[in-house]
């Protein structure tokens, strides 16, 4: 095959027209590497080599474009290129070049990820660890960056507790504490930090919530029970929901179930 002429396409891509009327789009980097000039003859073996190299360049430029949107991990780039149908060998060559040229910077990515998690989310250390591992990082890569003063975690926990307490419209203090604890564990906080913060707060049952629950139980149970039996059933159900028995009895004295 003999190159007849070049035609500039978009960006750094050229279309090569051969004397047999076939065409091939190549990056300028490929053209320079193989010294492709007009009237140059290329055999079939060399053409396959040129196409393979150009494919690597294409994957490389695609990865660079992907990286310009935001920082990416090695694992993210690998998945992205796999989805774009590049083979493993091509992907490995691209990753090696990106690492050599410092486009993949694990330490910067990890620091930025932890910083965002601390300032923009309610995530705790265990959840952040799991997410970093899911992104392909090992413990020795992120451990130092997660060595954060416990006061910072306590501050985050206290903010969550305050928010949950203010938005509580249905639960007794006992149930609320358990729900907050479950939520914080799921968010990746250590149990000793959670307990330390919860133990510093005096949770008191909200009278309005208790009144609301008494009314709810009354509407439900009064269809089946009455008088003292009704009062006992209401007491039992509210106690099971975590309300203080003395508070229940106090409220029921003002509530007519007869």
Could you read off the pLDDT of 13-34 as tens digits, one per residue? 999 999 999 999 999 999 999 9
Per-residue model confidence as pLDDT tens digits over 111-130:
999 999 999 999 999 999 99
pLDDT exceeds cutoff 90 at 249: no
Percent of the chain past pLDDT 70, that is, above it, reads 97
Average pLDDT over residues 168-182: 84
pTM: 0.69
User: How far is residue 55's CA from residue 71's CA, in Å, rounded to a whole number?
Assistant: 23
Q: Please tell me the predicted confidence (pLDDT) of residue 111.
A: 94
Phi, psi for residue 72 in degrees, rounded to 5: -130, 155
β-pair partners for 6: 16
Pairing of strands 23-27, 13-18: antiparallel
Identify the residue whose tokens are 């358990």: 178
> What distance, in Å, lies between the first and last C-alpha atoms of the chain?
102
């Amino acid at each position: 095959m003999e190159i007849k002429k070049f035609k500039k396409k978009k960006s750094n891509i050229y279309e090569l027209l051969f004397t047999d009327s076939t065409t091939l789009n190549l990056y300028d980097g490929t053209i320079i590497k193989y010294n492709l000039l007009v009237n140059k003859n290329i055999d079939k073996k060399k053409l396959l080599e040129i196409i393979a190299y150009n494919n690597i360049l294409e994957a490389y430029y695609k990865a660079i474009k992907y990286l310009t949107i935001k920082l990416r991990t090695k694992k993210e780039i690998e998945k992205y290129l796999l989805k774009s149908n590049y083979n493993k060998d091509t992907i490995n060559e691209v990753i090696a070049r990106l690492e050599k040229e410092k486009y993949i910077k694990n330490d910067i990515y990890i620091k930025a990820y932890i910083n965002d998690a601390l300032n923009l989310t309610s995530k705790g250390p265990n959840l952040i660890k799991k997410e970093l591992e899911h992104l392909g990082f090992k413990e020795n890569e992120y451990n130092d960056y997660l060595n954060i003063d416990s006061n910072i975690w306590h501050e985050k926990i206290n903010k969550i507790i305050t928010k949950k307490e203010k938005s509580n419209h249905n639960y007794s203090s006992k149930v609320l504490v358990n729900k907050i604890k479950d939520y914080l564990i799921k968010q990746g906080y250590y149990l000793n930090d959670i307990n330390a913060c919860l133990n510093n707060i005096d949770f008191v049952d909200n009278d309005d919530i208790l009144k609301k629950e008494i009314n709810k139980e009354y509407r439900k149970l009064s269809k089946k029970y009455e008088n003292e039996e009704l009062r006992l059933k209401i007491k039992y159900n509210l106690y099971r929901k975590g309300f203080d028995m003395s508070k229940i009895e106090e409220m029921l004295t003002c509530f007519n179930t007869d």
